[in-house]
Amino acid sequence: MERIDDPCTAPRDGESQEIWSREIGAPPFSLLIGSPYDIECPPPTYLSINHLNRSRLADKASQLQGYEVQYEGGLKCVDERVLSNQRGIIIDVIAQVSACLLKGQGIVGLSLPIRLFEPRSTLERLLDRFCFMPVFFENIGELNAIERFKKVIAMAVAGLYISPSQEKPFNPLLGETLQAEWPDGTKAYCEHTVHHPPITNFYIISKDFKIHGNLQLIGKFKKNSLIGGFQGKVNVEFNDGQIVSFSYPQFRAGGIIMGSRTVEWEEHMIFDDLTNKFNADITFGAVRRKGLFKKAIGKIDDFRGQLKINDQEVGKIEGNWLRNLSIDDVELWNIDRHLPVFHFFPVNPLPSDWRYREDLVWLSRGNSEIAQKWKYKIENRQRADRKLRGLKY
């Protein structure tokens, strides 16, 4: 049986399979619907479901492609295509940063050149954080409360190394949505609900649990690094009422102005179950020893922490976000043994779905010139809409 695809994946008129129309300015789900036709900026046909759900390799080498693990820990980007695309624009970016900060916007509102981007939305990048959910949450409803708590820790920490791209995903449009699911039937729904600051709400539902919350994308430049991440709490709610909440650490992308491009996680991950009074605090980085001439112990991608019940330590957490995680010497996650399970996309989602963005579609097809033009058009429409709502930016 022939599989039904999304609307507008085939041209309305004309011979090109990539251009939806030679007469109408935008496809029916566009933010710019009703715009006049622009021969230099034609509307694309939407991405097919086969393209959206093309297979993703799950092994460690594939996930870390384009990177080298450094002796001192963390990752160094060695992808010459990415590095080449990013050369020569740092001064322009810094100038834009200064302008945004003067307006109180933060750097997530930058209008950046298309060559810095990957053809994905931040909404999809967010879902990658849950790719170990099918691995560690299988039959989780049969476990007791403390074992579930440990499984949540394993799921959250294991997802940190997935797809550490130096390329930037597209900032979602206000109201942009994403629908996805996993092979076990778990479904996910995301919506970008606030643009300044950028906040995304998410809801994941399975037979044994729900995961929900909202996360704010943050970012700032500090010396030679970009520091950012998702701010907020993820809540994992089980059918018996147990709720485990956790927050993500912050990432540091080094070498923004000079030197090697590096990626590392730092600061803390905090896990809480207030009902059962479980707590875990995981600290990332080498152990800093006191004293002027004493070296740090370990590598910068190591982590360590404590598992507590009623504020009493009952277990030690240790590992490395590029290798494994153990609690009291029992290994819960190993990067070579446990492989991620990635989400896939359904046919015919809401018209606000991320897959219908023209700039993203053209970039996915390798046409950065037209993608850049659509990006400018979409950003200008968003600015106009904000003014209509009485906002300055």
The percentage of the chain sitting over the pLDDT mark of 90, rounded to a whole number, equals: 76
For the record, the structure tokens of 90 come out as 């740092």
Q: What is residue 226's predicted lDDT score, i.e. its pLDDT?
A: 87
pTM listed for this prediction: 0.91
Contact present, 225 and 252 (Cβ < 8 Å)? yes
Q: What count of other Cβ atoms lies within 10 Å of the Cβ of residue 302?
A: 20
Q: What is residue 1's predicted lDDT score, i.e. its pLDDT?
A: 37
**Would you place residue 100 in the very low, low, confident or very high pLDDT band (cuts 50, 70, 90)?**
low
Q: Helix count (H) and strand count (E) of the chain?
A: 9, 17
Q: What is residue 91's predicted lDDT score, i.e. its pLDDT?
A: 60
Average pLDDT, the chain: 91
Q: What is the mean pLDDT of residues 145-157?
A: 98
CA 321 to CA 160: how far, in whole Å? 7
Give the range among 68-77, 94-103, 218-227, 293-302 with minimum mean pLDDT: 94-103
Residue 3 has pLDDT above 80, yes or no: no
Contact present, 109 and 97 (Cβ < 8 Å)? no
The percentage of the chain sitting over the pLDDT mark of 70, rounded to a whole number, equals: 90
Q: Per-residue pLDDT tens for 233-254?
A: 999 999 999 999 999 999 999 9
The three-state DSSP-derived secondary structure of 215-266 is: EEEEEEEECCEEEEEEEEEEEEEECCCCEEEECCCEEEEECCCCCCCEEEEE
**Would you place residue 108 in the very low, low, confident or very high pLDDT band (cuts 50, 70, 90)?**
very low
Q: What is residue 94's predicted lDDT score, i.e. its pLDDT?
A: 64
Q: What is the mean pLDDT of residues 307-316?
A: 97
Q: What DSSP character marks residue 70?
A: -
Q: Per-residue pLDDT tens for 335-372?
A: 999 999 999 999 999 999 999 999 999 999 999 999 99
- Among 382, 348, 379, residue whose Cα is nearest residue 28: 348
CA 222 to CA 45: how far, in whole Å? 41
Higher pLDDT, 358 or 226: 358
Q: What is the mean pLDDT of residues 126-150?
A: 97
Q: What is residue 256's predicted lDDT score, i.e. its pLDDT?
A: 82
Residue 310 has pLDDT above 90, yes or no: yes
**Would you place residue 48 in the very low, low, confident or very high pLDDT band (cuts 50, 70, 90)?**
very high
Domains plus CATH for the chain? 1-53+356-393 (no CATH), 118-334 (2.40.160.120)
Q: What is the mean pLDDT of residues 55-66?
A: 94
Contact present, 255 and 261 (Cβ < 8 Å)? yes
**Would you place residue 2 in the very low, low, confident or very high pLDDT band (cuts 50, 70, 90)?**
very low
Residue 49 has pLDDT above 60, yes or no: yes
**Residues 179, 183, 185: CA angle, nearest 5 degrees:** 65
